[in-house]
Amino acid sequence: MPLRLATRVLIGLALVFGLCAGAGAAAIEPALLAQLTSEDAAEKGEAIDAIAAIGDEAALAVLSALRDGMLKVSGTGQMFIAERGKATDAATGAAVDPVPDDAEKVTINNRLRTRIESAIGALRIFSKDPKERLAAVATLTADEAMLPALDQALASETDPAIKSALQQVRAASQLKSSDAAKRLAAIDVLAESLDAKSKNLLLPLMEKSPAGEFAEPDEQVRQAASAAVAAIERRLAVYDYAGRVFTGLSLGSILLLVALGLAITYGLLGVINMAHGEMLMIGAYATYATQTVFRAYFPAAIDWYVVFALPVAFLVAGGIGILLERSVIRWLYGRPLETLLATWGISLFLIQLVRQLFGAQNVEVSNPTWMSGGITVVNLVLPWNRIVIIGFSMTVLLLVWLMLTRTRLGLFVRGVTQNRTMASCVGVPTGRVDMIAFGLGSGIAGLAGCALSQIGNVGPELGQSYIIDSFMVVVLGGVGQLAGTVYAALGLGVASKFLEPYLGAVPTKILILVLIIAFIQKRPQGLFALKGRSVET
């Protein structure tokens, strides 16, 4: 049973005094420690509050040990803290040797555990370490008895984030006040919050009992709480939309990498390459193989395996693409149905080959430490691995654009794409351009697989999940159009993430496909039309 409010306010004041007193804080009386072994939970609770009111390091050590199950009592009644093979007296801090064999753990229930967590949090909000203070504030529970300690902490706090968190806890504590003016002031503070917990604190104020009575008797307070909840919901919605945009850009960047290669091969060769997704899968497995080599032979440099995996994924996927073009696809140009069937068969062959080499189960590809974690913007977390992938996609896009617009190979590719016959007549080696372009497109898909391995599972069917989406990107953007591919990939990625929470993943894909079909019916050339004599005629 909780203590009366007046008593708990005195404990809060004692806590402030004890924390500010530093080394001069009172010692823990053995009788107070003995009260922790009482069978009465109320007596244990009083002892916990009294120990917390002492406010020194010894009190923190005892409460932490009680929470963690390391506070023990011997048959003679001696209380000690057992930790890492040694024991110290709970009252004096002196070493206990030998450790009593008949010692038993002091037990607590869940309600007392919550009380201890709050007391420990209060003891740590005056720590010199900002991280520890912020973690301590997160453990505090709303209680008017804590207001003096919170006021003291706010007066000395200089970190804006910690100060804001303290103000939120203080406001939550004031909601329990019998003074309507204090409750209104607390609501004004909580209304500025970006935390859904603040909304959950305000919602009960507007609820009705079965008898039809409001939990909050003051109408002005209820109206203020309703307005505050609406303001918090609007603010949370903005950050939710921002998170969806970021996730959509991350998905769009992967689609962009996959579709870039497909845009080159499909736009240049007119080949419906159903094995393009398997180039992505090969790139992901090349990344896994590179990671395995680094773990075995270069464990000290494991954080940089991704850097070396990029050229490996590009070369392996590109090499396999060139091999396929020279051995199979070159004989099927101008025969779209046969090419589709042949590349579908190649796709099944590559999937089965990977199953034989690596097994049918997914393999683990770990993020390096510099890609772990993320950036927290208020209550929005932006993972580093997705940030890096978005930046990597933009870098690959820039390199492809420079290759197509600033190199001789790019000139040949654009010439063959616009008018193959005329390009051949002026001396462009179209067969060699076809081979290099197909290898380049496959290599870019391999880079996409390397990027995708950092955010998803790597398995034999990995490419099957992206081949249809990549074709939709290419067709929507305009065959052979780099700008169209960019707009289509990023647009589809963001649209998918906005629709999925409302429709679900599968209905979203169906709806997007229907919309793309309807768009192509009205504009067959896609977002950007391909220019050239062969197209115009």
In this predicted model, what pLDDT tens digit does every residue of 430-463 receive, in sequence order?
A: 888 889 988 998 999 999 999 989 888 899 988 8
Distance between CA atoms of 485 and 532, rounded to whole angstroms? 18
Average pLDDT across the chain, whole number: 81
Strand 79-83 to 71-73 pairing: antiparallel
* For residue 10, pLDDT beyond 70: no
Q: Which CATH number fits domain 239-536: 3.40.720, 1.10.3470, 1.10.287, 1.20.1530?
A: 1.10.3470
Q: Helix 147-156 and helix 5-21: axis angle, to 10°?
A: 30
Q: What DSSP state is assigned to residue 531?
A: P
Query: How does residue 2 score in pLDDT terms, banded at 50, 70 and 90?
Result: very low
Note whether 19 and 149 are within 8 A (CB).
yes
Domain with CATH 1.10.3470 in the chain: 239-536
Listed in sequence order, the DSSP H helices in 125-218 are: 130-139, 147-156, 160-174, 180-190, 196-202
pLDDT score for 444: 92
Q: What is the pLDDT of residues 147-191, one digit of tens each?
A: 777 777 788 788 887 888 888 888 888 787 778 888 888 888 888
* For residue 334, pLDDT beyond 80: no
Longest dimension (CA), the chain: 104
Q: What is the pLDDT of residues 208-224, one digit of tens each?
A: 777 677 777 788 888 88
pLDDT score for 9: 43
Query: How does residue 329 score in pLDDT terms, banded at 50, 70 and 90?
Result: confident
Note whether 134 and 161 are within 8 A (CB).
yes
Q: What is the pLDDT of residues 362-396, one digit of tens each?
A: 888 888 888 888 887 766 788 898 899 999 999 99
Distance between CA atoms of 157 and 162, rounded to whole angstroms? 7
* For residue 118, pLDDT beyond 60: yes
Q: What is the pLDDT of residues 310-326, one digit of tens each?
A: 999 999 999 999 999 89
Per DSSP, the residues of 281-302 read HHHHHHHHHHHHHHHHH-GGGG
